[in-house]
Structures are given as C-alpha cells and as structure tokens.
C-alpha cells in the first residue's frame, strides 16, 4: 500500500509540474486544483513540498506559483543531453535533403530553437538558436501543439490568433482541425504562414524526458512546392531513427 501511495503522490506532483510548465507567468492554487482535478488543500500541500525542493516557486503574494529553479536546472541538463543525442540525426537529415534542419522545444506559449544544422545555399531558410516563434503559424509549433489535447491548446493560445501573413490561420477551431491531421499523419506544415516565402515541414520527437520537441525542415517556397512528399517521408524516417536511438 505504501508503494501505491508513493506512486500516487509522484503522479500528482508530476501533474502539477506539467501545469506549471504550461504557464510561464504562473498559476494560482485554485487554477492548478481545477486543472489537475484535486482538492485545493491537496494541491497546496504538494506545491509547498515542491517549493521546499526548489521545483516550484511563488510568483506573487496572492499565491501564484511557477516552475522553480531546481526543475529548470534539471530541464537544462535534459535539454543538453537531448541536443547531443539528436544532433547527429540532424546532420544526416540535412545531408540527405540538402536543406537546413532545426530542433525546437515548447517554451511557454512559443516554440524556441535549441539546435540547427544550417545548409549553405543561395536561397536559405535559416533562423537562429534561441529565437522563439508563434506556435500556430510554424511547422514546429503545430507539431508540438499536436502533442497536446484540444483543451490544452485552447488554454495555451489566445482566442484570436495573430495574422502574420495572408496564409496564417487566425481561428483556433480551424487550427484544431489541422492539428487532427497532424496527429494522424505525424507531419505539420507551414505554407508561408509565419514568413512570406518560407515553408516548412515538422514532426514531434518523443523522448525519455517528456520534453515537447520537434524537428523541422524549413525550405524557401520556390524549392518547396513539389517536394512535400520527399521532405515528409525523409522527416518521418529520421523521426523513427531518432526515437529508436533515444529509447534504445
């Protein structure tokens, strides 16, 4: 029974941490309790224990909490491991396609680049490590959103999505329809939705740490049309190799 109780406590604490991870500005105890389906008194006890361990931290006198520095340190170490193990696969995919390949993670309500293999070409689609972009208008962002449930997506995004180009989806329900196809196919597409002249295909990468991660191949629109099948097939094959490597 003690083992079962311990597992339950760990599962509840993990659920709370996941909620805090989706709210970079913090969440109140009441919001956390509602999200995880636990009594506020239970959430208060668990959050205080997490705070004691440095895994949660208060953000205001009113009782809001965010992820603590201890967990951020663990996350940083996990991210470095992830980059080191995925990078050879990015190199191989870039060599195969002759295109730039990016690695990105969910960062609050944005997607942030953490690694990249840039391919020198006359026309390039290159961003930079550390740069963040909107989720709804990018291939990596959509791939990451596809890993969440529809209710989580609604909580994460504004009710009206910013229009960045004439092709950007601005209605959440339209985006949810597209995410259903992302989940079915494993591929997410950006057809000049974030930047005019730039397209991309992306896929989420399952990993042992549960970090929401995506690999993306950005391509100038002039080279993208007609190559979607080749790009998508190569990316899915690379994902299978990465997943086997990370979980091997």
Answer yes or no: are the C-beta atoms of 135 and 110 closer than 8 Å.
yes
Assign 126 a pLDDT band (cuts: 50, 70, 90).
low
pLDDT at 194 over 70: yes
Confidence (pLDDT) at 160: 92
Taking the mean position of all CA atoms in its chain, how far away is CA 83? 14
Say how many CA atoms lie within 13 Å of 36 toward its Cβ. 28
Q: Hey, which bits of 165-239 come out as E strands?
A: 188-191, 198-204, 213-220
How close are the terminal C-alpha atoms of the chain, in Å? 32
DSSP assignment letter at 54: T
Burial class (CB in 10 A: 0-12, 13-18, 19+), 220: middle
pLDDT at 61 over 70: no
Assign 79 a pLDDT band (cuts: 50, 70, 90).
confident
pLDDT digit string, tens, across residues 146-164: 999 999 999 899 989 999 9
Helices (H) and strands (E) in the chain, counts: 9, 8
Confidence (pLDDT) at 1: 45
Tokens of 69: 């520095």
pTM above 0.75, yes or no: no
Which residue shows structure tokens 């959509």?
142
pLDDT at 245 over 60: yes
Give the integer Cα–Cα distance in Å for 221 and 195.
10
Which of 2 and 12 is assigned the larger pLDDT? 12
Closest CA to 178 of 205, 143, 212, 154: 143
Of the chain, the percentage scoring pLDDT greater than 70 comes to: 93
Confidence (pLDDT) at 178: 98
Give the integer Cα–Cα distance in Å for 68 and 121.
42
Answer yes or no: are the C-beta atoms of 51 and 65 closer than 8 Å.
yes
Answer yes or no: are the C-beta atoms of 32 and 20 closer than 8 Å.
yes
Assign 209 a pLDDT band (cuts: 50, 70, 90).
confident
């Amino acid at each position: 029974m003690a083992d079962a109780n311990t597992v339950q406590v760990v599962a509840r604490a993990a659920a709370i941490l996941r909620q805090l991870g989706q709210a970079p500005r913090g969440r109140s105890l009441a919001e956390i309790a509602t999200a995880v389906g636990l009594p506020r008194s239970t959430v208060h006890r668990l959050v205080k224990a997490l705070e004691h361990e440095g895994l949660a931290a208060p953000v205001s006198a009113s009782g809001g909490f965010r992820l603590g520095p201890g967990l951020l340190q663990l996350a940083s170490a996990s991210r470095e491991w992830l980059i080191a193990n995925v990078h050879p696969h990015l190199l191989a995919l870039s060599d195969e396609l002759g295109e730039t390949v990016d690695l990105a993670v969910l960062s609050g309500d944005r997607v942030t680049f953490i690694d990249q293999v840039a391919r020198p070409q006359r026309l390039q689609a290159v961003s930079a490590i550390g740069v963040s972009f909107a989720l709804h208008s990018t291939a990596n962002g959509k791939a990451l959103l596809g890993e969440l449930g529809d209710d989580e997506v609604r909580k994460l995004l504004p009710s009206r999505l910013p229009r960045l180009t004439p092709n950007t989806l601005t209605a959440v329900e339209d985006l949810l329809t597209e995410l259903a196809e992302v989940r079915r196919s494993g591929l997410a597409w950006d057809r000049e939705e974030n930047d005019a002249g730039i397209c991309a295909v992306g896929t989420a990468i399952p990993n042992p740490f549960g970090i929401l991660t995506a690999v993306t191949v950005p391509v100038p629109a002039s080279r993208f049309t007609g190559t979607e099948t080749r790009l998508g097939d190569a990316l899915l094959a690379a994902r299978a190799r990465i997943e086997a490597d990370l979980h091997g």
